[in-house]
Structure 1
Amino acid sequence: MDINSLPVEAFLEILTNTDGLTLGKCRRVCKKWRDIIDGTDVLWQAMCRKECKYPARIAKKKAGNECKWYHIYKNMKNWAKVTSFERKVREFYKFSLHDKNHALEIDSNILPLRDTNGVVLYDMNTLKYIPVTVPERKCSKIANNNNVTVIMLKTDLFVQRTVDNGTFMTEVVFKADNFLLHGDILFFYNNRDVYKCDLIYQNLLADLILHCDFDIKEIQYNDGVLHIFTDCGQIVNVTNDKKVSVQPIKIPKEWIKQIKYVSAINDRNFVCYSRNLFKIETDNYEHLYLDFPPITALFFYGDITLIGTKDGEILLYRLADQKRAVKPKFEVLGTLPDGKFAVQLDVCERKTGPVIVASTFFEIMLLEINFFPHEKETKSSYPMNKLLMYKRLLKLRERLQHQ
């Protein structure tokens, strides 16, 4: 049988069992093959899972629906030679107040910036202002998807969802210290109590799943397991059926008190760090350093780590290039001007390539890298999922203003 006579399902099954390089070559065979491959983004999702599982997942969450898996795959592959591309550092936003936490975490292609009058939002695809302001400077985190928007204030967690059924609850407020939104599941903790809220149910109710014996630094959810990183060097893992296991971070006990920050994907892929201490663990690599450049900011991208230093440099640290008991090697991606240095780092992939967001005490600086300058950016018209998010934010804004 000729391959073009195969049912599309069988053809896609064959393509799924190739690799990304082969898939790219198949895309250029003929118009029919190109249309099938370009019209089936799940093929590129499969390639990402096989070849760059964790960084691609982080990248997709940051980029949202603005970048297809095809663009995520291409960008992930080009990070291997990132220093060979043109890079440009420029100032994007200036603040009037000195603050270490001006920039909130990028989520679904939205960059929230905390300024004098509240939180303003920017579209990372176009870098244009979104005409919705959250009038609350105490906001510390915003997450959203097609169905729900979640905003973390000082101790209040606001949940606003879009529902078709008029009998379903549309909003709720919980007491919380931090949260994690994973699809239709919301995890949050208040003091040491960890809760789960399933967002598909009619009523938005929080189910207590664990009282942790230690203070919590970070939570992550992966493959049906909630991972809780504590301040005493223990990782508590909770499965969907509430089975609990505890494992220690493999680090000298005397170093535990020095650890200030944790950035994690799961209990096998994480980095712990403070100003001079750096402990990183992944499926394939385990690095532990005490003699390290003073860290002012860090972004953990699975296979690589971006580090901000007091000298204003943004360094790239490749796990695959390091050897045990050998001094770490760094590549300089860029240097912030006028003695500025990053106190926060974040990354968002775009069709043209990644943009690194470096927040200083008074500015937002952008380090833009053009992998594919020929790719045209999306016009400023908003897709339906963003329009729904804006409506939810407007409702939350009205509620906050009347409090």
Structure 2
Amino acid sequence: MLVISDLPLESFIEILLKTDGRTLGICRRVSKNWKEIIDSSDFLWQAFSKNDFPNSSNIARKKSGKDMSWYYIYKNLKTWHKIANIDKTMKEFYKFTLHDKAHALEIDNGILPLKDTRGIVLYDMHTLRNVPVVVPEKNCFKVSHNDYASAILIKSGLLIQRTVTNPDYMSEAFFKADNFVLSYNALYFFNNREVFKCDLMHQILASKLVLNCDYDIKVMQYNNNALYLFTDCGKIVTIENDVFKTVKPVNIPAEWLKQVKHIVAIDDKNFVCYSRVLFKIETNIYQHLYLDFPVITALFYYGDIVIIGTRSGEILLYRLSSQIKATKPIFEDIATLPSGKYALQLDVCERKSGPVIVAATFFEIYLFEFDFFPNDNLDPQKKTFTDNKLSIYKRLLRLKDRLQCQTF
């Protein structure tokens, strides 16, 4: 009699792909052989993560980098629904000598950049260890990485450092830019109203004009082969395959647009607009607009949930699925900063044991570590770097040397 274990590996994988994440977790416990097959097939967990959490899984991957397998990302995202009841620890992670509203830059690929008097200091979010690279640039606004390149936005423009093995290929370039996004194998940036693309696969790192926008650009985002520009006047411009596609207005009363200070976006159908007292969220499923809201000091948009920092120091969870249109919003209180402190920036990084929420105040960085899976915690003494991290660190060292020369 033929049993499932006798099937060819390809057929076994095809069967597993037709199940779901919960079933796959059960299958993982059937036998040692099944566990080895499932654990070595990370694309299974990737498929279920993207199916069950289409937006938050992409954000989690970008934040955590390749140090996190899709198995752990899926487990964590599946557990977020009970985060308010999970044990957590709060600790002051970093203290600054200067008062600043933007001490922390965005976590990217598992690396947290912090603005210090020396420049940018970097921390590995999976081990919470200092990366032995200080980027000597105090006027730094953004640092980003992918498999091909690292890019840093400073006051004078955008410096990109690429990993290349062929000596005939350019390894670095500098562009005048106001902001940028790294996609899989391309860099998009804008300078004033002009939008450019730099192909990271070409021998020469050159920019190509994609669009001369009719409006001032506020936020740029890239997702699923499309570039989205959110403008100061409330328009969303979509560019697909480097060709201008559409312009549509943000679905918000025109008289309220001038109150919107911040936009956090995934694409033109999934974004949050907010100011201190105005909150507008739009997704494929949910559309919410509130004026009667706690005073917002910081916000992190995680696809299916929104994490909000308030003036009273609370860290609140706003779960989209629990909200009913035209009713009072429902919040879950998941953390509170020390008395007198409140978050000016919020970020999240998934780790094997659970998520870490990073809250930056005027003088400190606080970490809230949630132990979803305490037994999966990393050994704090372990000093292992993935090939991906080593590649990033090497690029950062070259960026540091380039910035010290300051010849652009």
CA contact (8 A) 2:178 2:191 kept: yes
Q: Does 1:112 align with 2:113?
A: yes
Give the conservation status (yes or no) of the 8 Å contact 1:356–1:368: yes
Q: TM-score, normalised by structure 1?
A: 0.98
Q: Please give the alpha-carbon distance, in whole angstroms, between the structure 1 residues aligned to 2:396 and 2:338.
A: 35
Gaps of 5+ in 1: none
For residues 32 and 117 of structure 1, the distance between their equivalents in structure 2, rounded to whole angstroms, comes to: 51
Alignment partners' CA distance in 2, 1:225 and 1:177: 20
- Is the Cα–Cα contact under 8 Å of residues 41 and 69 in structure 1 kept in the other structure? yes
User: For 1:223 and 1:391, how far apart are their aligned partners in 2?
Assistant: 29
- Using the alignment, how far apart are the partners of 1:241 and 1:174 within structure 2? 19
What SS class does the counterpart of residue 392 from structure 1 fall into? Answer: helix
Distance 2:21 2:77 in 1: 11
Deviation at 1:147, TM superposition (A): 2.3
SS of the residue corresponding to residue 374 of structure 2 reads: coil
Deviation (angstroms), 1:31: 1.4
Distance 1:135 1:338 in 2: 34
What CA distance in whole angstroms lies between the structure 1 residues aligned with 2:218 and 2:405?
32
Q: Tell me the equivalent position of 2:330.
A: 329
Task: Tell me if structure 2 keeps the 8 A contact 1:184–1:198.
Answer: yes
Structure 1: how far apart are the matches of 2:371 and 2:13? 31
Q: Does 1:385 align with 2:395?
A: no
What amino acid does structure 2 have at the position aligned with 1:147? Answer: Y
Q: CA deviation at 1:282?
A: 0.7
Equivalent positions of 1:72-151 (< 5 A) are 72-151=73-152
Task: Write out per-residue CA displacement over residues 343-372 of structure 1, whole angstroms, 9 at most, x where no aligned residue.
Answer: 000000000000000000000011111100
State the alpha-carbon separation in 2 of the partners of residues 33 and 382 from structure 1: 28
Aligned partner of residue 63 in structure 2, secondary structure: helix
What code does the residue aligned with 1:319 have? L
Give the residue type in structure 2 aligned to 1:190: N
Contact 1:155 1:177 in 2 (8 A): no
State the AA in 1 paired with 2:231.
T
How big is the shift at 1:183? 1.6
Q: Could you give the per-residue CA deviations for residues 34-56 of structure 1, whole angstroms, max 9, x where no partner exists?
A: 11100000000000011011101
**Retained in 2: the 8 A contact 1:316–1:333?**
yes
Secondary structure at 1:37 match in 2: helix
Matched AA of 1:399: R
- Which aligned pairs between 1:157-306 and structure 2 lie closer than 5 A? 157-306=158-307
Q: What is the CA-CA distance between 1:241 and the residue it aligns to?
A: 4.7
Question: Quick check: 2:210–2:242 contact (8 Å CA) kept in 1?
Answer: no
The Cα shift of 1:28 comes to 1.0
Rounded Cα–Cα distance in structure 2 between residues aligned with 1:398 and 1:183: 26
How far 1:95 moved relative to its partner?
Answer: 0.2
Q: Cα distance, 1:243 vs. partner? A: 3.4
Say whether the 8 Å CA contact 1:354–1:368 is kept in structure 2: yes
Query: Does 2:397 align with 1:394?
Result: yes
Runs of 4+ in 1 over 4 A off after TM superposition: none
Deviations 1:141-171 (A, max 9, x none): 1011232110000131000011111100000
Structure 2 distance, partners of 1:314, 1:286, is 22
1:273-307 deviation digits (Å, cap 9, x = unpaired) = 00000000111111000111000000000000000
2: CA distance, partners of 1:222 / 1:338: 39
Query: Structure 2 length as normaliser, TM-score?
Result: 0.97
CA contact (8 A) 1:87 1:333 kept: no
Deviation at 1:66, TM superposition (A): 1.2
Q: RMSD across aligned C-alpha pairs, in angstroms?
A: 1.0
> 1:390 Cα shift?
1.6
Percent same amino acid at aligned positions?
57
Alignment of 1:40-55 (within 5 A): 40-55=41-56
Shift of 1:185: 1.0
How many pairs were matched up?
403
- Ranges in structure 2 where 5+ consecutive residues have no aligned partner: none
Q: Matches of 2:74 and 2:348 in 1, distance apart?
A: 15
SS at the partner of 1:374?
helix
Structure 1 CA distance, aligned partners of 2:147 and 2:237? 30
- 174-183 or 145-154: which moved more? 145-154
Give the direction of change, closer, same or farther, for the CA distance of 1:376–1:367 in structure 2 (3 Å limit): closer
Q: Quote the residue 1:345 is aligned against.
A: 346
Q: How many Å apart are 1:323 and its aligned residue? A: 0.3
Q: Distance in 2 between matches of 1:300 and 1:265?
A: 9
